[in-house]
Structure 1
Amino acid sequence: MPSVLFVCTANICRSPMAEVLLKARRAGFGAGAAEAFQQVASAGARAAARGEPIDARAAAALQRANLAVEKKWRSQRVAPEHFERYDLILAMEADNLKVLREQSPPALQSRLHLLLDFAPGLEGQDVPDPYFGPAAGFDHVLTLLERGVAGLAQQWRQGRL
């Protein structure tokens, strides 16, 4: 049963959006998926030491999609124990993946991937960081995350995870 950790830079935009999305969509993956994907979380490669709430624009994009982050949710930094705890550690961009590879024990490197490597036609691409752009960027990111999560579901249904 795969446990999944989504990773972006600060853990206030992309990775928490992906976490919320997978938690909301896992029941639709097919028989047993809700149970299979019980452990889903997010973290930041360079997150602040003190947990912060999700960016308001990210929360608004989720709300427009009828999704919501838990009120008690706070950002966290990637920690050494995450590499053991999660079967899949999915980075939002190549820079995040590089940081993860530097931190991960060599024996666990196979757990590290870009999220969009699971989205047909988007393999090798980054989920862009919407933080410094307009609010519409968060909706675009959510669309990309939907494609990544759908591809993850497809891989799970095909027994590839």
Structure 2
Amino acid sequence: MAADAGLDVVVDGAGTGAWHIGNPPDRRASAMAAKRGYDLSDLRARQVSAGDFTDFDLILAMDNSNLQNLRQMAPNGASATIKLFMDYAPQNPHREVPDPYYNDGFDVVLDMVEQASNGLIASLKA
């Protein structure tokens, strides 16, 4: 979406825990993404590293628990801004992106991610 908007940015994803390091995305997430034209086949899970807090300008958390974890993980001298992803979708009443793993809500989560991504892109372009 950022490239389509003409932005030259680096986008990466990581978890605050080490549970799935090296694994591809959930097959249901990949299938839902593919239906909307996103290819997740090259993605592999990794854990947030200390370097992320200086290598990236902005780190976005999907929920308050991960937001708190990220703030605790941030090393001294960290320059990245840490925010909730849904801050970029103020029109959405939900401030946290739910984990779709147990309720098969991958379509709802992707709707939320696209909505917040559009807001983030607008913010970056402004």
Please report the TM-score for the alignment, with normalisation by the length of structure 1: 0.72
Q: In terms of mean alpha carbon deviation, does 91-100 or 121-130 score higher? A: 121-130
Structure 1 residue 45 and structure 2 residue 16: aligned? yes
1:118-157: CA deviations, max 9, x gaps? Answer: 11223770001001112xx100000000111000011012
Structure 1 residue 88 and structure 2 residue 58: aligned? yes
Cα separation, partners in 2 of 1:131 and 1:27, compared to 1, 3 Å: same
Seq. identity, %: 34
Q: Number of residues paired by the alignment? A: 126
For structure 2, list consecutive stretches of 5 or more residues without a partner in the other structure.
Answer: none
Could you say which structure has the greater relative contact order, defined with CA pairs below 8 angstroms and 6 or more residues apart? 1
Partner of 2:123: 155
In 1, distance between residues paired with 2:2 and 2:122? 11
Cα separation, partners in 2 of 1:64 and 1:49, compared to 1, 3 Å: closer
2:59 aligned counterpart, secondary structure: strand
Structure 1 residue 104 and structure 2 residue 80: aligned? no
1:50-96: CA deviations, max 9, x gaps? Answer: 41111000001101112111x34210011111111110100000000
For structure 1, list consecutive stretches of 5 or more residues without a partner in the other structure.
Answer: 1-24
Please report the TM-score for the alignment, with normalisation by the length of structure 2: 0.90
Give structure 1 regions of 4+ aligned residues with deviation exceeding 4 angstroms. Answer: none
Match for 2:34 among 35, 60, 63? 63
Structure 1 residue 29 and structure 2 residue 8: aligned? no
